[in-house]
Structure 1
Amino acid sequence: MRVLVHPKAAMTLPATFSFDAPGDAARAAELRRVKALATLVLAGTLLLFVTAKLLLPVHPIFGFVAAFAEAATIGGLADWYAVVALFKRPLGLPIPHTAIIQSNQHRIADKLGEFIEVHFLEAAPVEAKLRQIDFATFIAEWLRDRKRSTDLARFVLRLLPEAVTATETSGLMTFITRRITTQLQSIDLAPLAAGTLRAFVKEGRHQGLLDDILRAVHETLTRPETMAMVRAKIRGELPTLLKLYRADKYLVNKIVASATAFFEEVRSDQKHPFRGEFDQMVLSLVDRLGSDPSYADRIDGLKRDFLARPELAELARTIWSNARTFIERSASGESQVLQHHLAKMFMEAGEALASDGALRAEINQGFVAVLRSFIADQKSGVSSFISDQVKAWDMGQLLQLIEINIGKDLQYIRFNGSLIGGLAGLTLYTVELLVRWL
């Protein structure tokens, strides 16, 4: 993509100008005044020339006046012709090389576009100018404003329902789901689990887990229903003679008492030998998780079974449906919760960006790189666009616009032409007389 605006589209744009810019009326009046004054000067020099020629027999001094006035008239006429020839044909006559601007409209348009492309949109000056702009600070200040962040949050909320609908109808949701599932399937959980457990043990958090396990086992053993179940199991294994002496009850009580005493001893002593054995057991499990292929295969199988369960897909659909409903309610204004949190998030992002100079520098560098590349790709399109626009302009109105803005200065060329021409004529006349006298 190298053309910003199609040439045919450019031709349909308005090709007229308005002269209601500040000061245009005043400049037009001043131009008329200066034009009239320049014309009066030209007429004055012509009248002075005729008068001086008539009075030449009266006194030789009028020869100098006539020479000055004659040359001033010629200079004024020549410069009047030059100024008029830029814009139109003098006196409407088809004189060659007049009406220069309108006769060369297409060439001027092409050269103007080329000049802007080559000199204004060159990579080095464009990059230098872009580096002077602090894009990140502007963004930070913009986001820190509460009203702007609220407006941005409201705008984002208006777009979200359409984005959700587009995601569902375009097949993007199915693609995302498949990609997520594929990525989850590719994760090797065994090293991840080993690393997590190793950090867990290093921080000593497994000892708290051991205390919780011992407490839970203690509470389970001391429950009447648990003791009754264990007693029944022991009674079924005892000889008939021992059953008569109710040995099952004695054994259950001894087992529970010994177990609870052991559990309490371990829980109250942080340096109990059993804790060291538990450390070794957990570390051994961590090592096997990280190195034993059979453990990795078991974990991978559990992962696949979990991801394949229909309950997980149903849970994902339920979460998505609830999220869509919540977004729609927020977009309709029924709920302000999401808008409030979005606005707060934007403001916090602005605050964070304003306080992070390194991040702002990275953002600015990114903007420079993107815009520099964009301008480099589009500058030929800019050249064509400018050229097409200039070709489509109404030259009559354009000439009026140019004349209003620079015509006053061009009219002063006529004054200068009369003055310089008159001085040149006076000098030549004086030199001529000196040569004759000599």
Structure 2
Amino acid sequence: MALPATFVINAPGDVARAAELRRVKALATLVLAATLALFVVAKVLLPLHPVFGFVAAFAEAATIGGLADWYAVVALFRRPLGLPIPHTAIIQSNQHRIADKLGEFIEQHFLEAGPVEAKLRQIDFGSFIADWLRDRKRSADLARFVLRLLPEAVSATENSGLMTFIVRRITTQLLSIDLAPLAAGTLRAFVAEGRHQGLLDDLLRAIHQSLTQPETMALIRGKIRDELPTLLKLYRTDKFLVNKIVASATSFFEEVRNDPNHAFRGEFDRMLLTFVDRLGNDPAYADRIDGLKRDLLARPELGDLARNIWSNARSFIERSAAGETQVLQHHLARMFAEAGEALAGDIELRGEINQGLVTVFRSFIADQKSGVSSFISDQVKAWDMGQLLQLIEINIGRDLQYIRFNGSLIGGLAGLALYTAEFLLRWL
């Protein structure tokens, strides 16, 4: 069972209001006593002059009005004179009903979807987030906070088996990717942009450099020498042929590199496009690529590489959290600050953030509003009514005491008017 809520009444404003309430109460009581005394004096002096009848009528009605309003004010908070009079101590007697009605009222009139959404749309969440992140100190504090949580998050990820699940999901997704159409589309775009011509130039340059290497020329010469008749070997024909081959190849490579419209470039285009078409449409190519993909993903070296990367990342995070290095913290702080700057300059993104948060908060409030109603009701039921009544009386009791002044005045005037009417009727 919840303990009664307590209210501390010691703020300077509360103390001042309590003193003012006591002063007004005393004044209202003094007015009541004065009207009663005036009534008694007027009744005693009535035989001396008829005017005291009017004074007595005013004082009598003022006293009755003051007493009635005193009773009404006191009955709100407690039992007048401690007597068990029905329908008094209204707030105390109806605490549970007031609590339920207050919770119901707030649920129906404050937490409805329309007013809630209208209020949420007045808040620029995106600008608030942007301004918060752009503050360098806040970004640095956020970076330190995130960095303190990272080691625990990493440890929890490992211990919970989440990493195994993530690896399996990634592997499954990679295996489900059809690489042949993807590779074909990439190569087709590569050819359409003409970037393959630069690749051809680099390839020809690499072949030319390889051919002119002494080791390569010696190797070609040896192959040619093995195929030549003995007679031609005596005239060193192999060397002549190697030089001719290299010279012809060099000349050909230079022609292709210097002529953007060379016929060989067209043949190279057709060769690549034919390969791209077969890659995208030939099942045999697709099967080979798929097999290569499966073999690559099944290699233990890939798993070892992933584990090493994860281990190094974890070690770096732990060292950063321990303060051994400030690199990650500075990077996170700069990233948050840059995100705030980018968000501040992106009106569309801020609008999307605002719309998203409005939707989230509206749905959350709609789902939880009955719980809020119950929470408010339970809290009011758990309040210490003695302290609560004291708090209410301090804040609104001064205005309620003026009802007593008004009651005395209005009652007195009404009594005077009735007595005057009665007096006139007697003389008619």
Superposition map of 1:220-231 within 5 A: 220-231=210-221
Residues 371-425 of structure 1: CA deviation (Å, up to 9, x unaligned): 0111111111111111111111111111110110011111111111111111111
Segment drifting more, 126-135 vs 203-212: 203-212
In the other structure, the counterpart of 2:88 is 98
In the other structure, the counterpart of 1:267 is 257
Match of 1:377 among 367, 373, 382: 367
In the other structure, the counterpart of 2:155 is 165
In the other structure, the counterpart of 2:173 is 183
Q: Distance in 2 between matches of 1:254 and 1:39?
A: 130
Match of 2:41 among 16, 40, 51: 51
Q: Distance in 2 between matches of 1:179 and 1:312?
A: 16
Match of 1:132 among 104, 118, 122: 122
How far residue 202 of structure 1 moved from its aligned partner, in angstroms, is 2.0
Q: Distance in 2 between matches of 1:289 and 1:201?
A: 14
Q: Distance in 2 between matches of 1:128 and 1:71?
A: 52
In the other structure, the counterpart of 2:376 is 386
How far residue 151 of structure 1 moved from its aligned partner, in angstroms, is 0.4
How far residue 250 of structure 1 moved from its aligned partner, in angstroms, is 2.3
Structure 1 unmatched ranges of 5 or more: 1-7
How far residue 246 of structure 1 moved from its aligned partner, in angstroms, is 2.9
In the other structure, the counterpart of 2:222 is 232
Q: Distance in 2 between matches of 1:254 and 1:355?
A: 66
In the other structure, the counterpart of 1:312 is 302
Q: TM-score, normalised by structure 2?
A: 0.97
Superposition map of 1:381-420 within 5 A: 381-420=371-410
Q: Distance in 2 between matches of 1:203 and 1:273?
A: 19
Residues 8-46 of structure 1: CA deviation (Å, up to 9, x unaligned): 4xx14x611111234111111111111111111111111
Q: Distance in 2 between matches of 1:266 and 1:104?
A: 100
Q: Distance in 2 between matches of 1:391 and 1:22?
A: 28
How far residue 244 of structure 1 moved from its aligned partner, in angstroms, is 3.3
Tell me the C-alpha RMSD between the 2 structures.
1.2
Match of 2:311 among 303, 321, 324: 321
Q: Distance in 1 between matches of 2:345 and 2:300?
A: 47
Match of 1:89 among 70, 79, 84: 79
Give the letter aligned to residue 183 of structure 2.
A
Q: Distance in 2 between matches of 1:337 and 1:204?
A: 41
Q: Distance in 2 between matches of 1:271 and 1:94?
A: 112
How far residue 51 of structure 1 moved from its aligned partner, in angstroms, is 0.7
Q: Distance in 1 between matches of 2:125 and 2:257?
A: 60
In the other structure, the counterpart of 2:272 is 282
In the other structure, the counterpart of 1:242 is 232
Q: Distance in 2 between matches of 1:207 and 1:298?
A: 27
Give the letter aligned to residue 250 of structure 2.
T
How far residue 259 of structure 1 moved from its aligned partner, in angstroms, is 1.4
How far residue 367 of structure 1 moved from its aligned partner, in angstroms, is 0.8
How far residue 366 of structure 1 moved from its aligned partner, in angstroms, is 0.7
Q: Distance in 1 between matches of 2:257 and 2:55?
A: 127
Match of 2:286 among 283, 296, 300: 296
In the other structure, the counterpart of 2:5 is 15
How far residue 265 of structure 1 moved from its aligned partner, in angstroms, is 1.9
Q: Distance in 2 between matches of 1:261 and 1:368?
A: 71
How far residue 201 of structure 1 moved from its aligned partner, in angstroms, is 1.5
How far residue 288 of structure 1 moved from its aligned partner, in angstroms, is 1.6
In the other structure, the counterpart of 2:412 is 422
Segment drifting more, 217-226 vs 323-332: 217-226
Give the letter aligned to residue 82 of structure 2.
G
In the other structure, the counterpart of 2:23 is 33
Give the letter aligned to residue 270 of structure 1.
P
How far residue 240 of structure 1 moved from its aligned partner, in angstroms, is 3.1
In the other structure, the counterpart of 1:4 is none
Q: TM-score, normalised by structure 1?
A: 0.95
Q: Distance in 2 between matches of 1:308 and 1:159?
A: 34
Give the letter aligned to residue 275 of structure 1.
R
In the other structure, the counterpart of 1:109 is 99
Structure 2 unmatched ranges of 5 or more: none
Q: Distance in 1 between matches of 2:130 and 2:262?
A: 57
Are 2:96 and 1:73 aligned?
no
Give the letter aligned to residue 40 of structure 1.
L
Q: Distance in 2 between matches of 1:320 and 1:133?
A: 41
Q: Distance in 1 between matches of 2:20 and 2:215?
A: 111
Q: Distance in 2 between matches of 1:62 and 1:119?
A: 56
Segment drifting more, 319-328 vs 108-117: 108-117
How far residue 252 of structure 1 moved from its aligned partner, in angstroms, is 2.0
Residues 164-212 of structure 1: CA deviation (Å, up to 9, x unaligned): 1111110000000011111111111112111211222222221111111
How far residue 68 of structure 1 moved from its aligned partner, in angstroms, is 0.7
Give the letter aligned to residue 420 of structure 2.
T
Give the letter aligned to residue 24 of structure 1.
D
